Structure 1
Amino acid sequence: MLDSTSTAKCPVHAPADHPKVQPEKVGILLANLGTPDDYSYWPMRRYLSEFLSDKRVIDYPSWKWQPLLQLIILTKRPFSSGEAYKSIWNHDKGESPLMTITKDQTAKMAKVMSDRYGDQVMVDFCMRYGNPSTKSKVREMVKAGCQKILFVPLYPQYAGATSGTANDQFFRALMEETWQPAARTIPAYFDEPAYIDALARSVEEAYAKASSRPDILVVSYHGMPKRYLMQGDPYHCQCQKTTRLLKERLGWEDTQITTTFQSVFGPEEWLKPYTVDHVATLAKEGKKNIAVIAPAFSADCIETLEEINEEIKESFEEAGGEDFLYIPCLNDDDDHIAALAGVIEQNLKGWVD
Structure 2
Amino acid sequence: MSTPISPVTRGLVIANLGTPRAPTAEAVRTYLREFLTDKRVVQIPHLVWKPLLDWVILPRRSPVVAEKYAEIWMGEEGSPLLAYTLRLARALQAAMPATRVLPAMRYGQPALGDAIMQLHAEGIRDITLLPLYPQYSTTTTASMEDVAAVMRKRLPDTRIHVVRDYHVDPHWVDAIANSIRTYWDANGRGDRLMLSFHGIPERLVRAGDPYAAQCEAGTDAIAKALDIPRSEILLTYQSRFGRERWLQPYTLQTVEELARDGVRRLDVVCPGFAVDCLETLEEIAMQNADAFRAAGGEAFRYIPCLNDAPSHVAALAGIAANTDA
Q: Give the TM-score, by structure 2 length.
A: 0.96
Secondary structure of 2:248's counterpart equals coil
User: Of the candidates 106, 131, 140, which is equivalent to residue 89 of structure 2?
Assistant: 106
Give unpaired runs (5+ residues) of structure 2: none
Per-residue deviation at 1:255? Answer: 4.1
User: Of the candidates 295, 320, 326, which is equivalent to residue 302 of structure 2?
Assistant: 326
* Equivalent AA in structure 2 for residue 27 of structure 1: G
Match of 2:41 in 1: 57
Per-residue deviation at 1:253? Answer: 2.5
* Equivalent AA in structure 2 for residue 77 of structure 1: R
Does the aligned pair in 2 maintain the 1:150–1:184 contact within 8 Å?
yes
Give unpaired runs (5+ residues) of structure 1: 1-17
In 1, the alpha carbon distance for the partners of 2:164 and 2:43 equals 23
User: Of the candidates 129, 135, 144, which is equivalent to residue 107 of structure 2?
Assistant: 129
Match of 1:312 in 2: 288
The within-5 A match list for 1:59-74 is: 59-74=43-58
In 2, the alpha carbon distance for the partners of 1:71 and 1:315 equals 31
* Equivalent AA in structure 1 for residue 245 of structure 2: E
Per-residue deviation at 1:232? Answer: 0.2
* Equivalent AA in structure 2 for residue 238 of structure 1: Q
Deviation string 1:140-187 (CA, Å, 9 cap, x unpaired) is: 11110011111111111001111111121232234334x641111113
Secondary structure of 2:49's counterpart equals helix
Match of 2:64 in 1: 80
Secondary structure of 2:16's counterpart equals strand
Per-residue deviation at 1:20? Answer: 3.9
The within-5 A match list for 1:126-205 is: 126-177=104-155, 180-205=157-182
**What is the number of residues matched between the two proteins?**
324
Instruction: Go from structure 1 to structure 2 and tell me whether the alpha carbon gap of 1:88 and 1:20 turns closer, same or farther (over 3 Å shift).
Output: closer
In the alignment, is residue 246 of structure 1 matched against residue 222 of structure 2? yes
Secondary structure of 1:310's counterpart equals helix
Per-residue deviation at 1:139? Answer: 1.3
What CA RMSD, in Å, does the superposition of the two structures yield over aligned residues?
Answer: 1.5
Q: Give the TM-score, by structure 1 length.
A: 0.89
Instruction: Go from structure 1 to structure 2 and tell me whether the alpha carbon gap of 1:206 and 1:20 turns closer, same or farther (over 3 Å shift).
Output: closer
Does the aligned pair in 1 maintain the 2:40–2:138 contact within 8 Å?
yes
In 1, the alpha carbon distance for the partners of 2:17 and 2:286 equals 21
Instruction: Go from structure 1 to structure 2 and tell me whether the alpha carbon gap of 1:233 and 1:318 turns closer, same or farther (over 3 Å shift).
Output: same
In 1, the alpha carbon distance for the partners of 2:151 and 2:250 equals 36
In 2, the alpha carbon distance for the partners of 1:182 and 1:254 equals 40
**79-88 or 145-154: bigger deviation:** 145-154
User: Of the candidates 301, 304, 312, which is equivalent to residue 336 of structure 1?
Assistant: 312
In 2, the alpha carbon distance for the partners of 1:242 and 1:25 equals 33
In 2, the alpha carbon distance for the partners of 1:94 and 1:203 equals 27
Does the aligned pair in 1 maintain the 2:148–2:160 contact within 8 Å?
no
Secondary structure of 2:39's counterpart equals coil
Does the aligned pair in 2 maintain the 1:57–1:161 contact within 8 Å?
yes
Deviation string 1:59-89 (CA, Å, 9 cap, x unpaired) is: 1111111111111000111100000000000
Secondary structure of 2:306's counterpart equals coil
Q: Higher relative contact order at CA 8 Å, sep ≥6: structure 1 or structure 2?
A: 2
Deviation string 1:326-352 (CA, Å, 9 cap, x unpaired) is: 000011000111111111111169xxx
The structure whose Rg is larger is: 1
Per-residue deviation at 1:19? Answer: 3.6
Match of 1:216 in 2: 192
* Equivalent AA in structure 1 for residue 27 of structure 2: P
In 2, the alpha carbon distance for the partners of 1:231 and 1:348 equals 28
Identical columns (%) = 36
Deviation string 1:27-47 (CA, Å, 9 cap, x unpaired) is: 111111011001112111000
Greater than 6 Å deviation, 4+ residue runs: none
Deviation string 1:95-142 (CA, Å, 9 cap, x unpaired) is: 10111111111111111110xx3xxx2111110000000121111111
